[in-house]
Structure formats: structure tokens, C-alpha cells
Amino acid sequence: MTARPYVTGQGTFDNSTVAGILEYESPPNSLHSSITLPLFKPILPALNDTSFATKFGSKLRSLASAQYPANVPQKVDKHFFVTVGLGTNPCQHNQTCQGPNGTKFAASVNNVSFAMPTTALLQAHFFGQSNGVYTPDFPSTPITPFNYTGSPPNNTMVSNGTKVVVLPFNTSVELVMQDTSILGAESHPLHLHGFNFFIVGQGFGNFDPNKDPAKFNLIDPVERNTVGVPSGGWVAIRFLADNPGVWFMHCHLEVRTSWGLKMAWIVLDGELHTQKLLPPPTDLPKC
């Protein structure tokens, strides 16, 4: 088996091809002959071949069997369309300004660059002390629509805030994540805490709400907790918000998370005792 990295951004890294041999512990009798190495290595795609990576990933399917069902939400209670990508923030005099025109790089979801609070979100939510910690007004659609994968807007500044989405228990959610080309289109691996989700659709260019949903796979899509928003494209997921608490969704590239490419979902308690957020343990250490 051979493998090589896939990359869409700038930077240096070890781009060599790794190879390994898979050997069964108890092979069938017909395979007891000595192992011979292949004479030729397979031709792997280019390091930045986003089209190949996306097409390969789109072929993955759930088993969707009686033993391993694919419980894709067939109806949607809440629709969200969010843009993910890079932007800029004003650079202070004592900061390293690596962005264009005296700015620093920032990242955002729906133009909101997440500001980390000094009080834990989960603590503020559980004890009903959200005032001054977060606001429940994260936008469900971009505040300022534009040609997301075309010419970038003149204003590349992002807003800053600790905004969250609040969902009633058992809400079925459809989330479309759109890459932007504000400071160059790049792939963003988005990870959702607290849930698995189904990848029901993906494509390149701008998401078309009138045409693209008709092509969604609601039968046997792959189930994951991390998905790559393709460079210059979009991805659609569905999940059931049946896990009460506060759950981060963030880019799995650490530097972009530190730049603010993250947000949080708050799932409220259900009616049953087993559907409620547990209190913190009595011996929980205090910061």
C-alpha cells in the first residue's frame, strides 16, 4: 500500500511517498506462498489534486444494512448555510502583522471570527450565566452574500464575537459549508464535537439551493465527525442534535482554529431524565 500527503495551502512539509506491506496473520491456504514485492508502484495523484481527492471521498458509502443502519434525517428542522475561510483583522502596534496592508490573518464562519471567552461556555450554559460570556445570535446565513468562489470582496475584514447556535433537543439539522476565496481558496477540515453526521452532498463552485439539494444522497451517505470543505467548493451534512451540551465545531488545522475558524452549538435538554445535561462532578477542579 502506498500513500502521499494532500495539501491545498502554502508551506513546506515531507511530501515523500510512504509504502507498507499488509500481511494477513492467518492467510488462506492458497496464499501460503512466499510474498513477492510488486515491481511497479501505483501512480498517485498530485499533491494538490483537489478534484481527485473530492471524487475519491464522494465514493465512500455507509453499509446502510439492518445491522449497520444509516439513520439519515429525512426531514430537516433547521437549515444553516455558512461560509468558512480566511480574512483579516486590524493589526495592533505590538503584534506581528503577517497579513496584507498592515493587517493580521483571521478566519471566520459566516464572517464571525470566534473570540474565546474567559469563562467556559459549558459552565455558563449549565448555570444560566451566559450574560457577558456568549450571545445566542450566530447567523444562520452569511450576513453579506457575495460570489464566494469568485472575485473576493473589497472588504476582507471579519467581525469578532462569541456567538453560538441554540438548538432544541432532537432538532434535525442540515448544514451547508461553503469555502470562500477571500484570501485564496483552501480546503478546511471541519470537525464537530458531540455528534456523528452524514455527508449528504458536496461540489465545486457556489452552492445552488435550487439545484444541488436534489442530488443529495439520503440513502447511504458516509457517517463521520470530520469533513473536508473542498477548496473552491462546498459540502452538506445532516445530523440529529440529540446530545445536550455545548459542542465546538472547528477547523482541524490548529493555526486556523487559533485565527477564529470555529463556532459552538448549544443543544438544550430534552424532557426525559436521560436527555438532560449532567451536572459537573463535586470534585471538579476550579481554574
Would you kindly state where each structural domain of the chain is located, as residue ranges? Answer: 78-275
pLDDT at 17 (0 to 100): 87
Global pTM exceeds 0.85 = yes
- Strand pairing category for 223-224 and 197-204: antiparallel
pLDDT at 123 (0 to 100): 94
What is the C-alpha to C-alpha distance for residues 90 and 62, in angstroms, rounded to an integer?
A: 45
Query: In order along the chain (287 residues), what is the average pLDDT of each group of 10 residues?
Result: 82 83 74 62 86 88 96 97 90 68 84 94 95 96 90 84 97 97 82 97 95 97 94 95 97 87 97 94 84
Q: Yes or no: is domain 78-275 CATH 3.30.70.20?
A: no
8 Å CB contact between 43 and 4: no
Give the three-class secondary structure for 72.
coil
8 Å CB contact between 104 and 98: yes
pLDDT at 94 (0 to 100): 61
